[in-house]
Structure 1
Amino acid sequence: MSQSNVLTAEARERVGKGSARAIRRSGNIPAVIYGEKQPPIAITLPYKEVFHRIHAGGFKTTIFTVKVNGQSIQALPKDYQLDPVRGFPMHVDFLRVGRHTVVTVNVPVRFLNEEQAPGIKRGGVLNVARHEVEFTCPANAIPDFIEVDLTGLDIGDTVHISAVKLPEGVTPTITDRDFTIASIAAPAGMKSEESEEAAEAQAEGESGEAE
């Protein structure tokens, strides 16, 4: 476990809205660690640490070592609450991670080799249907991202999840269809030209029928 993924926490005995407000006023954030058939542990974490972790990206796909009361607990952030007006972190829920823990996570999509896609070279636009994909996977093998290779794709081509090479044990939660990740669409100018050509062809056909 990387030292950068260590969080130092303090246990808290009191819970509830009043206690949570007092914790936030002191520059900390209330949090809870639950799961693995063990009693939940109420903790506090430094506000600045949590704020930077959340806004650095990948927070909910990173397993942290939470150090509290002499224990080192492997835990995955499952949810967090932000102030609806100011966007400040208000609370974090952690899930204990064991050797056989399987989790459901949203994994970012990374697109590669746009310069090798003929459709994009011709002015096509990459339409991203899913910037993240929800997967189930072992908690100790959560991918940082999945990669979509755009090499050879032309205007009108579509990338489905079946075309993406996934790490072992990583499975999409959507299993009833081969859903779309992205497609390459024609630019607006090309669409207009195609529409005009189609209209002209249709007019010529109608004219021929009239004769």
Structure 2
Amino acid sequence: MVQTIRIEGEARELAGKGAARATRKQGRVPAVIYGAKQEATLLSLDPRDVMKELQKGGWQSHLYEVAVAGRAERCLMREVQFHPVKDTPLHVDFQRLAPGQMIRVRVPVVFLNEDTAPGLKEGGVLNVVRRDLEVMSDPDQVPDQFEIDLAAATIGASLRWSNVQDQKGTKPVITDRDFVVATIAPPTVEEEVVIQAPVAAPAADAKGKGKGKK
């Protein structure tokens, strides 16, 4: 089971830009919990709690238990708005989870055995097309990562969704093809450019200089 991260919030009554600015002046980050056909819950968060989660990476795939006024709701952190200059969080959107609901998440991909992959040892380059994969998952079984083994990958190989070692009960959002995750591209050959020095014109005959009609 995926670990659920608890965040403590404080209820706020008013919505709108003015109320959000007032919340920020108090040193808090305005937030909202929506979804599951329920009324939205307005709250504010400690900015340190928000930054702590953002710095972990992969926060869009983590499960959160957001506690407000003694009531905890299971959520996904869907969107964070940032200050354009200070890069501090301005607003956080959480999606409430309904019982039995499959959720759409992005899961990072890691590549195994890069050091021994024959295509890479021969000078090929790992070209990552998708660094994370968007899938539908059970909220209690969201993978921390997907793994693709490069042990047999040669130059020209295409690593696809079917090469994910354990899909962990998820279903890809892209369903019409076995999509490419990465390729082993051939090494880049740089052509050697030879720059030739310009050929100097032959020197004029010194004896011929100054000759002319007298």
TM-score relative to the length of structure 1: 0.84
Deviations 1:32-66 (A, max 9, x none): 11112221100000011101211221211111111
Matched with 1:34 is 34
More helix by percentage:
1
Supply the distance in 2 between the matched residues of 1:67 and 1:3 (Cα, whole angstroms): 16
Over the aligned positions, Cα root-mean-square deviation in angstroms equals 2.0
Matched with 1:108 is 108
Supply the distance in 1 between the matched residues of 2:145 and 2:110 (Cα, whole angstroms): 6
Matched with 1:156 is 156
Once the two structures are TM-superposed, the CA of residue 159 in structure 1 deviates from its matched residue by 0.4
Matched position secondary structure for 1:159: strand
Matched with 1:55 is 55
Number of residue pairs the alignment of both structures matches: 192
Supply the distance in 2 between the matched residues of 1:32 and 1:111 (Cα, whole angstroms): 36
Matched position secondary structure for 1:108: strand
Q: Is the 8 A contact 2:79 2:93 kept in 1?
A: yes
Residue identity over aligned pairs, in percent, reads 42
Matched with 1:81 is 81
Deviations 1:168-188 (A, max 9, x none): 430111111111100111221
- Structure 1's unaligned 5+ residue stretches are 194-211
Deviations 1:98-129 (A, max 9, x none): 33021111111111111220111112110000
Supply the distance in 2 between the matched residues of 1:167 and 1:159 (Cα, whole angstroms): 14
Indicate yes or no: 2:136 matched with 1:131.
Answer: no
Q: Which runs of 4 or more aligned residues in structure 1 lie more than 4 Å from their structure 2 counterparts after TM superposition?
A: 1-4
- Structure 2's unaligned 5+ residue stretches are 193-214
Task: Name the amino acid aligned to 2:68.
Answer: V
Matched with 1:9 is 9
Once the two structures are TM-superposed, the CA of residue 4 in structure 1 deviates from its matched residue by 7.8
Task: Name the amino acid aligned to 1:5.
Answer: I
Distance 1:30 1:78, change over 3 A: same
Matched with 1:180 is 180
Matched with 1:170 is 170
TM-score relative to the length of structure 2: 0.83
Once the two structures are TM-superposed, the CA of residue 192 in structure 1 deviates from its matched residue by 5.8
Once the two structures are TM-superposed, the CA of residue 152 in structure 1 deviates from its matched residue by 1.1
Distance 1:2 1:184, change over 3 A: closer
Supply the distance in 2 between the matched residues of 1:78 and 1:168 (Cα, whole angstroms): 22
Task: Name the amino acid aligned to 2:172.
Answer: P
Task: Name the amino acid aligned to 2:43.
Answer: I
